[in-house]
Structure 1
């Protein structure tokens, strides 16, 4: 009677990588003519459960036969979020998997200050240390977040804000940790820092010649002189003041220092920063490669819009969460426009000041893409000023509930080059008020996404055609 084929004592695995290693072990046990090697405690895989026995058996690590280069190649196929699990296999895997980690958000400052971070992850290119610089109780279980920063809370929260100056690590401590990081990771390309001093930024500039992107939280004017040596810096984000978290000042002085030192900037984002015409003018004159400028919750003095004309290469202007666009733009005849500007994005801004909105469209009259999302005060009169921009090819409106068809129709029809239109959640724009001229325009567009309200008659009329479905395009032409 023929003997039944021997069943593998190993359970089938869904993970292909683990399956390879277990097959290697089984093949070695079944075909080898030499006795098994001595058990090595330094390289131990997870215990293998054999359903035919009641004990857990350990075997030698046959992955030790794989060279470091080949194992690195295998681990490089693993998702970066799963590399931490690979490091639990053994010390060797921990060291090799750490070499593949490129991005990290630090939560424990001691891990950096002790040098363990550099030993564990020597090839980092993107490091964020903000949360590790805030002294908070890790057992509170309360996490408060804004668009820019997240911190853990405890019972000692003050009435002035969630983060006090005393809650942040001293700048000398931060500088020391940054020095350790820079000396160990020479290929850093992006850093996110908080409460760092001029000396710490100088260390970054000297040690990270490849640094291209930098985010600075809780910084002030004279600290910015430390990054004047970052010759290759292209993307910079300055977070001066965040309501409820901390308050620091970046004014025209800091913007001028910044402009004179970082002349290769391509993208600049100013969050909670002060300034005026002089600061924006200095940035425009010195940073001649600047293509994108973002102002978020700015505290700019009146008249800053006129300085946009000095940005000779600016292509995109973004205003986010601004309570006021320009408090005192001045008369129209004193305003000039940015000749190279192509995109204007307005998100969560207050547009009730009609004079400042008109000044904005005058300064940005060359734009081709106009995007307005959830802005307060955009009514028919305010939107009429957008007709100043005669070269608009793309219009995107979302959450503009005050705008009606009476104000929407004439402006859109005045744009002869318009070929893409997106209208979402603008509840006072009704399908029943669409004119023949507007319907003709719709038929000639390359892209149309039309969902002004949830009771749209157009969508019900297109039911079953597959056009105008949620998340899709109503019309599309190439």
Structure 2
């Protein structure tokens, strides 16, 4: 019999626990070791690389998940976590690249070297505008435009076309388009500058799903390449931009465009020339056209009359136009757009009465009128809008020459008016509101009335007792 059995109360019985006892009683750590060994054996394809001593810190448990399952998980995470997730490992970096659909290219070598396609194989929207520009790195001059932001050299061009000397050659741009077309057959949207007809033809042959195209520094010859884009629905053409570059889009190019892109739904012409014939061709051939935007146009007189050929046009936007149509011709030749619903005028110069009268007659079926920051819209100009008797929505912002009388003269004849927005029109005074206009206000579904800062201030002080010559704070004794 041992000493411990003879003396049960002996202090030797309370000896400290041994490591072997703890190891045998608690088998949970052993299970983790066995699992990690199996995981490492499963993840390794080379049997020689399997070891008996696992490196727990280097084991990636996501290796048990297939790429398709892990892609589905990563796609459910918010966009703000994409960059941190790509830093986990090379596998996650590649998977995150497969989730990217839209990208703006800043380095042209990244495209032509093939690294773009390898890194982002599923791109659908690509912007090449900044990548097509050569920007000197040591320059301290930053050029910022609504389209592009870049560094330029200190030597200005004599003709003030600052981007002409900083554009990549046409041949280089075409090679980039060919590399993009070969690697992204599912491309749906593209923005590019200084491309040629051959480059666009290559793109159209490979990218059959291309639906949206934005061409900068476009001309008539370039438009020959767009004809092959059979599924094109949204198109923006930028011909000339003052101070940046110049290019010519005339009736010839617009006719080529109209006969080739018959599925167009939205068309924007910026800095383009043309006349009645070009707009007429678009209206007759592009029967699905619903939205037409004309920005800073250089069109000849009489082009407004061609809008009547756009029978399914629903939205007409005029942006930053220094003129509308100085000589629109007789009213009998104008016609009108029967399906037009929205007319938007923004930052336009509206000083010609013939132009405004013809514009409102062409758009007399419109239901929504928006005028923002347009100079020259006075009472006489806005009176021509009374011909649009189906207007339901009117928004006026920054029309400083329009008065309350001019507003009333036009909108009192609009029986269907439901929404009226008047913002920052300093000559529209609350004191000039007539009983008829006040009655109209009561029938509206929505009214936003902030024509001047004073009216906004007075409405915000209603019920506070302020604005009474200090009567709230100073009392006579």
Compared with structure 1, are the counterparts of its residues 464 and 259 closer, same or farther at alpha carbon in structure 2 (3 Å cutoff)? Answer: farther
Task: Quote the RMSD (CA, aligned, Å).
Answer: 2.3
Report the CA distance between 1:85 and its aligned residue. Answer: 3.0
Structure 1 gaps of 5+ residues are 1-27, 44-56, 466-478
Separation in 1 of the partners of 2:282 and 2:99? 38
Report the CA distance between 1:104 and its aligned residue. Answer: 0.2
Tell me the residue number matched to 1:216.
215
User: What is the CA deviation profile of residues 43-77 of structure 1, one whole-angstrom value per residue up to 9, with x for unaligned ones?
Assistant: 9xxxxxxxxxxxxx954322323321222112112
Tell me the residue number matched to 2:179.
180
Report the CA distance between 1:458 and its aligned residue. Answer: 8.7
Contact 1:190 1:212 in 2 (8 A): yes
Report the CA distance between 1:335 and its aligned residue. Answer: 1.8
- Identify the structure with the greater helix proportion: 2
The 10-residue stretch of structure 1 (412-421 or 431-440) with the greater mean CA deviation from structure 2: 431-440
Tell me the residue number matched to 1:50.
none
Tell me the residue number matched to 1:202.
201
Tell me the residue number matched to 1:425.
424
Separation in 2 of the partners of 1:453 and 1:419? 22
Tell me the residue number matched to 2:379.
380
Q: Which runs of structure 2 are paired with 1:118-129 in the superposition (5 Å)?
A: 118-129=117-128
For the residue of structure 1 that corresponds to 2:214, the secondary structure is: strand
Q: Is 1:100 matched up with 2:64?
A: no
Q: Is 1:436 matched up with 2:426?
A: no
Separation in 1 of the partners of 2:199 and 2:139? 31
Compared with structure 1, are the counterparts of its residues 463 and 66 closer, same or farther at alpha carbon in structure 2 (3 Å cutoff)? Answer: farther
Q: Is 1:78 matched up with 2:77?
A: yes
Tell me the residue number matched to 2:34.
34
Tell me the residue number matched to 1:51.
none
Report the CA distance between 1:149 and its aligned residue. Answer: 2.7
Separation in 2 of the partners of 1:34 and 1:386? 83
For the residue of structure 1 that corresponds to 2:288, the secondary structure is: coil
Report the CA distance between 1:208 and its aligned residue. Answer: 1.0
Tell me the residue number matched to 1:319.
318
Separation in 2 of the partners of 1:249 and 1:162? 14
Report the CA distance between 1:238 and its aligned residue. Answer: 0.2
Report the CA distance between 1:31 and its aligned residue. Answer: 6.3
Separation in 1 of the partners of 2:80 and 2:108? 21
Separation in 1 of the partners of 2:155 and 2:84? 36
Tell me the residue number matched to 2:165.
166
Q: Which has the larger radius of gyration?
A: 2
Contact 1:423 1:451 in 2 (8 A): yes
Report the CA distance between 1:139 and its aligned residue. Answer: 4.4
Tell me the residue number matched to 2:412.
413
Report the CA distance between 1:150 and its aligned residue. Answer: 2.7
Separation in 1 of the partners of 2:463 and 2:266? 45
Separation in 2 of the partners of 1:192 and 1:114? 20
For the residue of structure 2 that corresponds to 1:340, the secondary structure is: coil
Separation in 2 of the partners of 1:461 and 1:177? 58
Contact 2:353 2:381 in 1 (8 A): yes
Separation in 1 of the partners of 2:396 and 2:444? 16
Tell me the residue number matched to 2:270.
271
Tell me the residue number matched to 1:17.
none
Q: Which runs of structure 2 are paired with 1:360-371 in the superposition (5 Å)?
A: 360-371=359-370
Compared with structure 1, are the counterparts of its residues 234 and 35 closer, same or farther at alpha carbon in structure 2 (3 Å cutoff)? Answer: closer
Report the CA distance between 1:36 and its aligned residue. Answer: 5.2
The 10-residue stretch of structure 1 (162-171 or 237-246) with the greater mean CA deviation from structure 2: 162-171
Q: Is 1:299 matched up with 2:298?
A: yes
Structure 2 gaps of 5+ residues are 1-27, 44-55, 465-477
Compared with structure 1, are the counterparts of its residues 142 and 461 closer, same or farther at alpha carbon in structure 2 (3 Å cutoff)? Answer: closer
Tell me the residue number matched to 1:255.
254
Tell me the residue number matched to 2:400.
401
Contact 2:374 2:398 in 1 (8 A): yes
Tell me the residue number matched to 2:349.
350
Tell me the residue number matched to 2:14.
none
Compared with structure 1, are the counterparts of its residues 81 and 209 closer, same or farther at alpha carbon in structure 2 (3 Å cutoff)? Answer: farther
User: What is the CA deviation profile of residues 239-274 of structure 1, one whole-angstrom value per residue up to 9, with x for unaligned ones?
Assistant: 001111111111111100100100000000000000
Report the CA distance between 1:310 and its aligned residue. Answer: 0.8
Separation in 2 of the partners of 1:94 and 1:461? 54
Using the size of structure 1 for normalisation, the TM-score is 0.84
Contact 1:288 1:312 in 2 (8 A): yes
Report the CA distance between 1:432 and its aligned residue. Answer: 1.9
Separation in 1 of the partners of 2:149 and 2:240? 14
Contact 2:450 2:456 in 1 (8 A): no
Separation in 1 of the partners of 2:225 and 2:443? 54
Report the CA distance between 1:33 and its aligned residue. Answer: 3.8
Separation in 2 of the partners of 1:458 and 1:387? 31
Report the CA distance between 1:140 and its aligned residue. Answer: 3.4
For the residue of structure 2 that corresponds to 1:174, the secondary structure is: helix
For the residue of structure 2 that corresponds to 1:383, the secondary structure is: helix
